Structure 1
Amino acid sequence: VNHAALTALVDRWRPETHSFHLPCGEMTMTLEDMAMISGLPINGQAVTGRVSAVNWRERTGNLIGVEPDPPLPGKANTSKVRHSWLKQVR
């Protein structure tokens, strides 16, 4: 991780417009940018539906074929899939 570059980008992030304000102009992250950075595919059907935290690990397994590991003892059972985990299992 390039900490200097990350700090520079954080300083230029504008949450009101969800974009970076750079000396050369405004830059917005697109879905294609995220696909290039993460290596995750963006083609196919969108995953949509009601949002519910109940049985989220099982539903994740049904959607992508791999179920996230249960939380470690003493850790909170958060209902989110981490981007780093998605990159590992792809």
Structure 2
Amino acid sequence: MNAKDLHPRMLIYLQQSGLFPAIFVCGFKVYLALIQVLIEHWRPKTHTIHFPSGETMITLEDVAYQLGVPMNGAHVVRQNNYEPKTLVYEVLGKVSLSECIDGYRVRMTWLESEFQVTNDEVIFVSRTYLLRLIGGILLPNKSGNFAHT
């Protein structure tokens, strides 16, 4: 689902979350040559990038500025005392199959296929969209097919 395909009520929920500017990240072109140069100049011991003009560091503040997401406010991650299936039902409004959950991670393909925008499910689809945005684009893991709840 692209930013232009979002339901009007979804836009409201996404703006309230503070992550609305991040929905446009999907449309950015990735310049592999630029990333390759950054990787070649990266120094893991000092966590800096060395250029002929000097060294620099990418901070969380830099990333937040580029993505337009807030760094201050309520924590996104909190301690979780729910059973995974209960948590998924409470947040997303649907019971998931056992093979779609691995601990507190939800299979991305299930999120993509299970949720369609209707007036009754806009809040759940908005939460699913945010989960896919965070788990699949902003903070992906090595598995590439699970998002952490």
Segments of 5+ residues of structure 2 without an aligned counterpart are 1-29, 93-104, 111-133, 140-149
Q: Percent identity?
A: 33
- The alignment's TM-score, normalised by the length of structure 1, stands at 0.54
Secondary structure of 1:70 counterpart: strand
Specify which structure has the bigger relative contact order, considering alpha-carbon pairs within 8 angstroms and separated by 6 or more residues.
2
Instruction: State the 1:47 CA deviation.
Output: 5.0
Secondary structure of 1:16 counterpart: coil
Count, aligned residues = 71
The aligned residue for residue 37 of structure 1 is 66
The structure having more radius of gyration, on CA atoms, is 2
Matched, 1:82 2:122: no
Segments of 5+ residues of structure 1 without an aligned counterpart are 74-80
After TM superposition, which residue ranges in structure 1, 4 or more long, deviate above 3 angstroms? 45-52
- The alignment's TM-score, normalised by the length of structure 2, stands at 0.36
RMSD: 3.7
The aligned residue for residue 106 of structure 2 is 70
Code of the aligned partner of 1:70: V
Matched, 1:19 2:48: yes
